């Protein structure tokens, strides 16, 4: 635009106003894409969750009846795993899946598709110690956290045991959780197992191998650790100093729910019922209290 010709006149120029008119705002009658739609809620799920836990060339070991087999991990998430390998397993078989240091967890075979197997993790937190020591720890936990636990009226008397091996056959129903402080953030985690030297946790946030988080299990109970390995949403922690398992009594665990919803990748054939029922000899809280009080008073 020639401003001089506009002010003083001169040769004819195409119409070109000094100030352009504003473009209309709002909804156009013939254009649906002009309608603004605002998001009323924040995104509450991670749409890439399943992809984040789909693994590539991750190896692990599956042990059954003392024999170990190398397998490839396809998925590890939501309380279970999908593995593939040359295994001879049957539905409901009990196996151990080893993901790394202090990363052994009991599993039940949920479904079989050729050389692929769907495994469900045991529900309770595994305490890696002798049966007598574990019994003493659990008794103290119940005394502190569940003093009002009552025996069920329909229960039969707890079975008599000949030795610590028999006591270790039945499963306790307790699950410990904690708060992991890492990378300038804090994440709620679940303890899959714990020993004096380390723990296996389930953590929804990504962790870096070699990082040094702080695992807080209660107001006055925390332990420094190094992340030794990460597989899906499972991670292995190596404690900097030996952990006294009796300190678990300082934190209140949760009681395992009776119903468990398997993750989608375990398949519809997994069914709604959990294999960790009577055939696996998992005790209720009152049964556990009755058994512990019975043998420790002898």
Alpha carbon distances (Å) from 41 to 38, 45, 46, 48, 104: 9, 12, 14, 19, 40
Q: What is the DSSP string of 49-73?
A: HHHHTEEEEEEEEEEETTEEEEEEE
Q: Name the DSSP letter for residue 144.
A: H
**What pLDDT, in 10s, does the model give residues 184-232?**
999 999 999 999 999 999 999 999 999 999 999 988 899 999 999 999 9
Beta bridge partner(s), residue 187: 180
What does the alpha-carbon distance between residue 140 and residue 142 come to, in Å, rounded to a whole number? 5
What does the alpha-carbon distance between residue 131 and residue 169 come to, in Å, rounded to a whole number? 9
pLDDT of residue 46 exceeding 70, the answer is no
Q: CB-side exposure of 138: number of CA atoms within 13 Å?
A: 35
Nearest to 97 by CA among 127, 71, 123: 71
Q: What is the pTM of this model?
A: 0.72
Nearest to 158 by CA among 277, 289, 16, 1: 289
What does the alpha-carbon distance between residue 209 and residue 225 come to, in Å, rounded to a whole number? 11
**CA 138: distance to chain centroid?**
22
Alpha carbon distances (Å) from 221 to 34, 54, 297: 57, 34, 29
pLDDT of residue 39 exceeding 60, the answer is no
**What pLDDT, in 10s, does the model give residues 70-115?**
999 999 877 899 999 999 999 889 999 999 998 999 999 989 999 9
Mean pLDDT of 134-152: 84
Alpha carbon distances (Å) from 75 to 29, 60, 202, 271, 277: 50, 12, 14, 19, 24
- Would you place residue 289 in the very low, low, confident or very high pLDDT band (cuts 50, 70, 90)? confident
Nearest to 246 by CA among 145, 133, 144: 133
**What pLDDT, in 10s, does the model give residues 159-190?**
444 444 444 467 889 999 999 999 999 999 99
What does the alpha-carbon distance between residue 120 and residue 104 come to, in Å, rounded to a whole number? 13
């Amino acid at each position: 635009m020639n401003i001089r010709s506009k002010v003083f006149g001169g040769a004819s120029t195409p119409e070109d106003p000094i100030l352009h008119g504003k473009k209309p705002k709002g909804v156009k009658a013939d254009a649906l894409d002009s309608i603004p739609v605002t998001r009323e809620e924040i995104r509450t799920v991670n749409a890439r969750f399943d992809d984040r836990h789909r693994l590539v060339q991750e190896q692990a070991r599956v042990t059954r009846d003392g024999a170990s087999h190398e397998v490839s991990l396809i998925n590890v998430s939501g309380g279970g795993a999908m593995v593939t390998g040359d295994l001879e397993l049957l539905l409901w078989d009990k196996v151990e899946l080893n993901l790394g240091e202090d990363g052994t967890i009991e599993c039940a075979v949920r479904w079989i598709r050729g050389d692929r197997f769907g495994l469900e993790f045991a529900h309770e937190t595994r305490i890696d110690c002798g049966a007598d020591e574990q019994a003493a720890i659990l008794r103290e936990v119940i005394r502190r956290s569940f003093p009002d636990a009552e025996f069920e009226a329909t229960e039969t008397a707890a079975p008599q045991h000949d030795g610590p091996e028999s006591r270790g056959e039945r499963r306790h129903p307790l699950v410990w959780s904690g708060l992991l402080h890492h990378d300038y953030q804090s994440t709620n985690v679940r303890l899959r197992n714990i020993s004096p030297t380390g723990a296996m946790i389930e953590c929804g946030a990504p962790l870096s191998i070699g990082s040094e988080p702080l695992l807080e299990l209660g107001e006055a109970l925390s332990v420094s650790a190094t992340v030794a390995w990460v597989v899906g949403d499972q991670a292995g922690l190596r404690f900097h100093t030996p952990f006294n398992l009796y300190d678990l009594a300082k934190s209140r665990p949760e009681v395992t729910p009776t119903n468990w919803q398997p993750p989608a990748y375990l398949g519809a054939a997994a069914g709604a019922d959990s294999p960790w029922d009577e055939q696996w000899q998992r005790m209720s809280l009152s049964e556990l209290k009755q058994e512990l009080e019975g043998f420790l008073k002898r």
